[in-house]
Structure 1
Amino acid sequence: MDYDFSFFLAVATLVTGVIWGGYLLVLKSTGATFDEENEPVLVEYARSFFPVVLIVLVLRSFIAEPFRIPSASMMPTLLIGDFILVNKFTYGIRLPVLNTKIIEMNQPKRGDIVVFRYPKNPAVDYIKRVIGLPGDRVAYYDKKLHINEQPVSQVSLGRYQGVGQGEDMTGNELILEDLTGVEHNILIRNGAASAEGVYVVPKGSYFVMGDNRDNSNDSRYWGTVPEENLVGKAFFIWMSWDWQHKGVGFDRIGTVLK
């Protein structure tokens, strides 16, 4: 069990609910009527906070959860300082804190941008793009992908001009990649060494990579992502803040991710 924000949110919901509900039961058992003016301070706080934390817990656990992008590994799709929303139900409904799936939904598709608990340290959330599905054979050589012996289409778009905190990526090659119908841009730093090899994706797992191919700690280095580590699918940028230049990236707000 991870003692993260979800854990403390669940505890707050439980504690405030027990205090407020217990007080009502005591009133009912004694035949007393509710009097807001004589309500104990602790009960008053519990009554006020319980519906708030409950709504936040439900929304965050079953609907959508916000995340902030802390690194450049998904450039140019996601920039440092982007705030995204992650769909929490598209891959199945899970109980908060326990992360136990109770309702089956969809399976990740090739090209999905997913948030997951890092297999080496489940307390840390990572975000990458799904490249390989269970049973796939993924090969990465000379900065090119092959999936099940088929080359993945790549079209060079020229030199990338970095923006904001991603300015140091200026000069990388911008490439349009087509993952069997899912087109997205990636960055390649020609001349830079990167992990290469052939990887067979085991059952119940996914091979993921960052769009910033030469600046991403992904499945090439630590293996695949087990299905139970999936948190959800990233789908929307709701805010973007350039920490380096101290400004809101208004042009990025409202971007639908693909």
Structure 2
Amino acid sequence: MTATSDSKKEGGFLETVRVIIHALLIALVIRTFLFQPFNIPSGSMKDTLLIGDYLFVSKYSYGYSRFSLPITLDLFSGRIFGADPARGDVVVFKLPKDNATDYIKRVVGLPGDKIQMIGGVLNINGVPVKRERLSDITEDDGSGRKVLVKRWRETLPNGVTYETLDLVDNGMYDNTPVYDVPPGHFFMMGDNRDNSQDSRVLSQVGYVPFDNLIGKAQVIFFSIDEGAAAWQVWNWPWTVRWDRLFKTVD
């Protein structure tokens, strides 16, 4: 009886281990080839993405590079099944400066483009993009004081539209030199134009190589108020932003 009982226990333990291993392998395949979750830690993409948003990024949209793997290894260069991002896509990429930090921005410049900010207006190949003024919104300036922030609807040459924020009239990167986007690279910008470190800052972000793209932001699957703890499920009725759940990222 003892031998049989021990054998059953051992068999049950091994079966549990097998189930766990299979589950981990399935999760690894999904994360590597299909979808990967990310959370938003900064306000550089407001109002498109907010601090506390959790979203799925499709790994297959632009093909696969060495940065698609859970652990970055120099196994190969270039992309497998590569497909170029479209202007206006919201993209997660590895920061070229260290090839490790994840950034999320919007693609505004394609290889060969000339990008420039003039008076806070995005210019692509010498042509200012169409902008429509929307109603102002109220934001906290960080010191507890409420300020009005200008809001615009921007339309790219391919028809993609999205909202941008202008915190100040004369921001640090409202007037820039012309950026010539090199072959095989992309120019990324945040929608919160005066609070985004992006390709306009060549020493910190600059032009993003095609290989560094992780995937395209697709849908927000969870969202919680800034400063709230996601693990405190008892507070979810008040802290979860229910209206943002399952919202597509445009």
Paired residue for 2:136?
159
In structure 2, do the counterparts of structure 1 residues 227 and 187 end up closer, same or farther at CA, with 3 Å as the change threshold?
A: same
Partner SS for 1:219: coil
Aligned positions, number = 221
State yes or no: 1:188 paired with 2:171: no
Partner SS for 1:214: helix
Alpha-carbon distance in structure 1 between the residues aligned to 2:145 and 2:200: 23
Alpha-carbon distance in structure 2 between the residues aligned to 1:169 and 1:117: 34
Higher relative contact order, chain-length normalized (CA < 8 Å, sep 6+): 2
- How many Å apart are 1:229 and its aligned residue? 0.6
Letter in 2 for 1:233: K
Fraction of identical pairs, as percent: 41
Letter in 2 for 1:206: F
Q: Which runs of 5+ in 1 are unaligned?
A: 1-34
Over the aligned positions, Cα root-mean-square deviation in angstroms equals 2.4
Question: Which of residues 169, 181, 187 in structure 2 aligns to 1:207?
Answer: 187
Q: Contact conserved, 1:159 with 1:170, CA < 8 A, in 2? A: no
- How many Å apart are 1:162 and its aligned residue? 4.1
Question: Which of residues 49, 60, 63 in structure 1 aligns to 2:20?
Answer: 49
Q: How high is the TM-score relative to the length of structure 2?
A: 0.81
- How many Å apart are 1:215 and its aligned residue? 0.1
What are the Cα deviations for residues 81-131 of structure 1, in whole angstroms up to 9, with x where unaligned? 001110100100346233756632421111000000011122210000001
State yes or no: 1:237 paired with 2:208: no
Paired residue for 1:18?
none
In structure 2, do the counterparts of structure 1 residues 184 and 234 end up closer, same or farther at CA, with 3 Å as the change threshold?
A: same
Paired residue for 1:135?
112
Q: How high is the TM-score relative to the length of structure 1?
A: 0.78
Alpha-carbon distance in structure 1 between the residues aligned to 2:12 and 2:80: 40
- How many Å apart are 1:36 and its aligned residue? 5.5
Letter in 1 for 2:88: G
Letter in 2 for 1:116: F
In structure 2, do the counterparts of structure 1 residues 111 and 168 end up closer, same or farther at CA, with 3 Å as the change threshold?
A: farther
Question: Which of residues 194, 207, 219 in structure 1 aligns to 2:199?
Answer: 219
State yes or no: 1:91 paired with 2:62: yes
Partner SS for 2:168: coil
- How many Å apart are 1:140 and its aligned residue? 0.9
Q: Which runs of 5+ in 2 are unaligned?
A: 1-6, 229-234
Letter in 2 for 1:190: V
In structure 2, do the counterparts of structure 1 residues 203 and 168 end up closer, same or farther at CA, with 3 Å as the change threshold?
A: farther
Letter in 2 for 1:235: Q
Paired residue for 1:248?
240
In structure 2, do the counterparts of structure 1 residues 216 and 169 end up closer, same or farther at CA, with 3 Å as the change threshold?
A: farther
Alpha-carbon distance in structure 2 between the residues aligned to 1:105 and 1:229: 12
Q: Contact conserved, 1:234 with 1:257, CA < 8 A, in 2? A: yes
- How many Å apart are 1:168 and its aligned residue? 7.3
- How many Å apart are 1:48 and its aligned residue? 3.0
State yes or no: 1:149 paired with 2:126: yes
Paired residue for 1:76?
47
